[in-house]
């Protein structure tokens, strides 16, 4: 499992001012912790596409937002992502909960379809990403901030385990 506290601390150390997203089960503990953090404002949305537009506006306004969504929401938000974050060259970090990741390695049974589409979508949309399994992988978050800043484009960290 991944420590929600350690993710929060990483976000604070990178000067994150806002987290914009739609809560899901994987990120439940992280959203609760961030909501209690006075230095970060949490903005909840009804559709993930809104998260990219709101975060882009915050970024243009001088803030440092992070988009926090599930991989199903990434698929839903394609046009909003393309029309704001990508087209406007917003150096945005996306924290992506990777629902169904464990089913990808399954030799038997049905795979979660969103898991099968996640990596090809990230690649097709030219979103650099890393997978984060445990607290030992927390450096992936710093690399995502560096990548976003150096390219002026979004970068993602896909979290595959529940935060606690």
- pLDDT by 10s per residue, the chain, length 164: 789 999 999 999 999 999 999 999 889 999 999 999 999 999 999 999 999 999 999 999 999 999 999 999 999 999 999 999 999 999 999 999 999 888 887 766 778 889 899 999 999 999 999 999 999 999 999 999 999 999 999 999 999 976 77
d(CA 147, CA 10): 15
Inter-residue contact 129 to 156 (CB < 8 Å): yes
Tokens representing 113?
């379809």
CB within 8 Å of 3: residues ≥ 6 apart = 135, 163, 164
Q: Would you identify the CATH topology of the domain 4-159? A: Rossmann fold (3.40.50)
pLDDT of residue 111: 80
Inter-residue contact 164 to 96 (CB < 8 Å): no
pTM for this predicted structure = 0.94
Structural element, H or E, at residue 21: strand 18-21
pLDDT of residue 112: 84
pLDDT of residue 161: 77
């Amino acid at each position: 499992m991944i420590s929600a506290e350690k993710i929060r601390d990483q976000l604070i150390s990178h000067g994150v001012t806002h987290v914009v997203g739609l809560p899901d089960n994987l990120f439940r503990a992280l959203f609760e912790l961030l909501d209690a953090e006075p230095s970060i404002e949490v903005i909840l949305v009804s559709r993930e596409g809104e998260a990219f537009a709101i975060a882009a506006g915050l970024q243009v306004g001088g803030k440092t937002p992070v988009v926090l969504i599930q991989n199903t929401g990434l698929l839903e938000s394609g046009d909003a992502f393309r029309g704001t974050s990508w087209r406007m060259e917003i150096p945005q970090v996306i924290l992506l909960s990777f629902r169904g990741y464990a089913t990808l390695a399954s030799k038997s049974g049905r795979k979660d379809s969103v898991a099968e589409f996640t990596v090809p979508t990230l690649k097709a949309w030219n979103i650099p990403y890393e997978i984060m399994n445990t607290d030992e992988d927390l450096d992936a978050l710093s690399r995502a901030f560096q990548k976003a800043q150096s390219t002026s484009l979004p970068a993602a960290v896909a979290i595959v385990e529940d935060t606690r």
